[in-house]
Chain A
């Protein structure tokens, strides 16, 4: 089905043709506006005033230093997961395992901080982040290799590995890694002891929660951009994502590239997990028994921000900040209007559906351009890169 010309590699947003740019600029705001309208309908359905609701949401997220720094901190896991999703989805590996990868990264980082608490910050902090990357990386590599070598549907395997990760986390935090001091009704609190101060992410602005992780996350997102568009490995990842067949004919190591893309995506999520622990207020790893309790749904929301950014890690910096604002502001909205902040999760789901749906508009315009004899701009969007569908 797929013709050879599809192998042409899409350029970064800066180099995309004007029409494509115009359409992507039209389609995503359209999705955003539709989502806001649907949010309005939902708020009205709950008897809340949408104006008050959105006002509370916006001021809670972006008004003042405290709100802005809270939003920036909230954006860290979204950005890291999102940057990883850019790699994985570009390789046509639909990684839904961010949640589990975050948890495994957090556990590996926590275990490291517990094992060698005495090391100086300059050694321990990088070690802890690296451990997070390894923990998450392994949890990404498994479904990646299963897909590449055994053709196991990666969507299903990553979701199943999320379920395994949450039980593993609950097991470790209530057994081998539990703090012996935290008693509550019914036994020990499932949490670790206070981690070594040398593993904490330093605070950048006193009086806020803004920590070094924010800077590292932005730098890593830029690094992912460079990787994808200015290295031969990035070229390979995108080529494999567009057409495995053509890449194979071109002599590229398709299977190891697929595995590597998932490993990198997992590693970035794992770093997010490490930062969730080391940048937390309590500075220990805690579980409430659910994955969401630890990740705050970042594994899924990271997909949302990456899709909204057109799978471009630089735009992901912006979208992760905006969506983090939605999450932080959602809490304010709940206080003011009484509409539960879980509404944001529903809202994000709508955004995902809308974003992948408006892709069709863009493709149709491309097809028209082709029919008219002009060379149509290649997509850099979601659906094109995932054009081979969802094989088993």
Chain B
């Protein structure tokens, strides 16, 4: 323990935790918007995998990390269109179709990895951008203000999404179709159009989250996400469908992951128990779901396709 509680190790662990929280945050913020409109997208994990692979391919071929992130986002957009078509237009059972998207992403990225990358390529890390003045703050500067631009983007999205959801007409429409689509329809809001846009935004964020994860790890491997996309969906419940709550949950997960890694490295967790320690995020998720399930009310129309006159 003694090695853990030193300023350098603690600072590095928190900084790593903030980084690890970023993919969760992006994916969960997107899912929050989608769910507020009444659509559950359980394909997040598959979309993250596809976005991550797209980013990997582009980064390996062009060397441009910005382009890689953009491609991840773009793949997310396309998958969002498909997801919205299946969930909104075809009114499919969202829980199951999402699992289909997950399997599709999992299988396809494996195939592509084997076909396109006979030997692994490592992607350089995104450079850290120091926020002027703030980065000089002892401790905090290293933890929060010496990160890459994707981290800043994700955390900036928290107030933006909050504002859009709560203070704009568009946000009000999203909430309306998520709570009472029939009423929204009556006053002339296009339920389908609002849900399409919300789902596509959410999916694009999932694609970007995948790209972010890839740039964080630096290499694509089979099942890169290891169910992080599903945890991101759980974080929406944890955050009670509010961006700030989702951010708190993401930070918690990022920190737990970072602490587990640090403790393994320092030998605080013995090798024999390393598998058991890796259970932490999943066990935490179940406990979190258990504790929040009864406390918060979800959007009333969540998971229910809207049928006029139905």
Contacts and interface: CB of A to CB of B under 8 A. Distances in A.
Q: Do A and B bind each other?
A: yes
Interface string A77-91: 000000000000000
B95 A386 contact: yes
Contact of A356 (B100, B223, B304): B100
Contacts of A300: 99, 103
B227 A163 contact: yes
Interface string B252-287: 000000000000000000001101101101110110
Given A342-B107, A342-B114, A155 B95 contact: yes
A360 B91 CA distance: 6
Contacts of B86: 353, 356-357
A346 B107 contact: yes
A35 B114 CA distance: 22
Which of A46, A345, A357, A392: most chain B Cβ within 10 A?
A: A392
Interface in A334-392: 339-340, 342-354, 356-357, 359-360, 363, 382-383, 386, 389-392
Given A349-B106, A390-B94, 20 more contacts: A94-B96, A150-B293, A153-B234, A155-B95, A156-B234, A156-B289, A163-B226, A164-B283, A168-B276, A290-B223, A340-B115, A348-B100, A353-B97, A354-B100, A357-B86, A383-B92, A386-B93, A389-B94, A391-B303, A392-B293
Contact of B289 (A153, A292, A383): A153
A345 B103 contact: yes
A175 B93 contact: no
Interface string A85-115: 0000000001010000000000000000000
B interface SS class: helix
Contacts of B115: 46, 339-340
Contact of B275 (A171, A304, A339, A350): A171
Given A156-B289, A171-B275, A390 B95 contact: yes
B107 A152 contact: no
Contacts of B303: 389-391
A163 B279 contact: yes
Interface string A194-217: 000000000000000000000000
Contacts of B101: 349, 353
A228 interface: no
Contacts of B99: 96, 155, 300, 303, 349, 352
B97 A356 contact: yes
Contacts of A363: 91
A357 B91 CA distance: 7
Contacts of A49: none
Interface string B281-310: 111011001100110101000111000000
A170 interface: yes
Given A153-B289, A344-B107, A360-B90, A389 B283 contact: no
A interface SS class: helix
Contacts of A391: 298, 302-303
B230 interface: yes
Contacts of B272: 175
A316 B100 CA distance: 18
A384 to B, nearest CB: 9
Contacts, number: 181
B227 A159 contact: yes
B237 interface: yes
A349 B234 contact: no
Contacts of B90: 357, 360
B185 interface: no
B230 A392 contact: no
A151 interface: yes
Interface residues of A, number: 58
Interface string A11-54: 00000000000000000000000000000001000100000000
B106 to A, nearest CB: 6
B111 A342 contact: yes
7 contacts: A160-B230, A339-B115, A349-B100, A389-B94, A389-B304, A392-B293, A392-B302
Interface in B151-174: none
Nearest to A94: B95
Contacts of B279: 163-164, 167-168
Interface string B110-122: 1100110000000
B100 A345 contact: no
Contacts of A155: 42, 95, 99
A153 B107 contact: no
Given A303-B96, A353-B86, A346 B104 contact: yes
B96 A382 contact: yes
Interface string A134-148: 000000000000100
B103 A352 contact: yes
B105 interface: yes
A152 B289 contact: yes
Contacts of A339: 111, 115
Interface string A278-316: 000000000000101000010010011001000000000
